[in-house]
Amino acid sequence: MDNSIYFSKYEKYLKRVEDWLKQNFKVYECPEKVIYESMHYSLMAGGKRIRPVLSLAVAEMLSGDLDTVLPFACAIEMIHNYSLIHDDLPCMDDDDFRRGKPTNHKVFGEAIAVLAGDGLLNMAFETLLKEVARSHENSHLKAKAALLIAEAAGIKGMIGGQVLDMESENKTIGYDRLCDMHRKKTGALIKSSILAPAVLLGASSDTENALKIYADKIGLAFQIKDDILDYEGNSEIVGKPTGSDEKNRKSTFVTLLGMEEAKKLLEATVRQAKKVIEPFNNAEFLIKTAYYIAERDK
């Protein structure tokens, strides 16, 4: 798949995600309007939307109904954005910019930013449960997919990984600990975006297993590339200040392996992702996405 076809398809998925979010998230005129404004500020700030895009791409590869998957994909995006609001807080990574704009707490204050993150997380689960309760048809598959997303967002996944990340500041940690941390912090939610549509569509166990491996590999690749961009990236393109890992004295794939070896690991990880997914029909978009993750500049 050449770049023009890939990005055309990406834009098609992206538009469906953006349209769903605009239709289902409004800023209401009410005494607590500021919380809706704060949530809207972060949720609608753009970004790659790679998690919901991956969900729709997997659904299409499996010849499934994209409309069935879309609310689950967008719930994952809400969870991702809540995590970014909280990550940027002074008590966490203390970042002033995100996607080229002042971070949520810089605009609305720390208290509202915390509540906006909480609001997006709760809205994600309202969205999931509405889908489970909508009809009896395939409700067990919807519930299973919702549970998978919940676990990925919780202490077994993203939150647990964030704790490991904070506990590792100002320390040198080993490669296995680093991989475990990012498998939870970054990889778990990416993995849920790939596996949730497979669960929703009743994919075979062999298909799920292959997608698990693919998801593990691109989740790892995503984090390695993030670590590289923190050292080599242009902050104006990345959309936030680079060098924060060094400022916070965090162990990364670059500090642990060196830049050259980190780039070699990135290339090898992408090749492994390609190998496991290429036997599927219509897998070209997912293969190209693995390379896109490795080649992106933000």
Q: What's the CATH code of the domain at 32? A: 1.10.600.10
Give me the domain span that covers residue 186: 3-295
What is the model's pLDDT at position 297?
80
Asked whether residue 289 carries a pLDDT value surpassing 90, the answer given is: yes
Average pLDDT over residues 163-185: 91
3-state secondary structure of 243: coil
> In sequence order, what are the beta bridge partners of 98?
101
3-state secondary structure of 136: coil
What is the model's pLDDT at position 298?
73
Amino acid at 272: Q
Q: Are the CB atoms for 270 and 294 separated by under 8 Å?
A: yes
Asked whether residue 243 carries a pLDDT value surpassing 70, the answer given is: no
What is the model's pLDDT at position 169?
83
Tell me the pLDDT tens digit for each residue of 31-49. Answer: 999 999 999 999 999 889 9
What is the model's pLDDT at position 184?
95
What is the model's pLDDT at position 136?
82
Domains identified in the chain, total number: 1
What is the model's pLDDT at position 114?
98
Q: pLDDT-derived band of residue 241, with 50, 70 and 90 as boundaries?
A: low
What is the model's pLDDT at position 224?
94
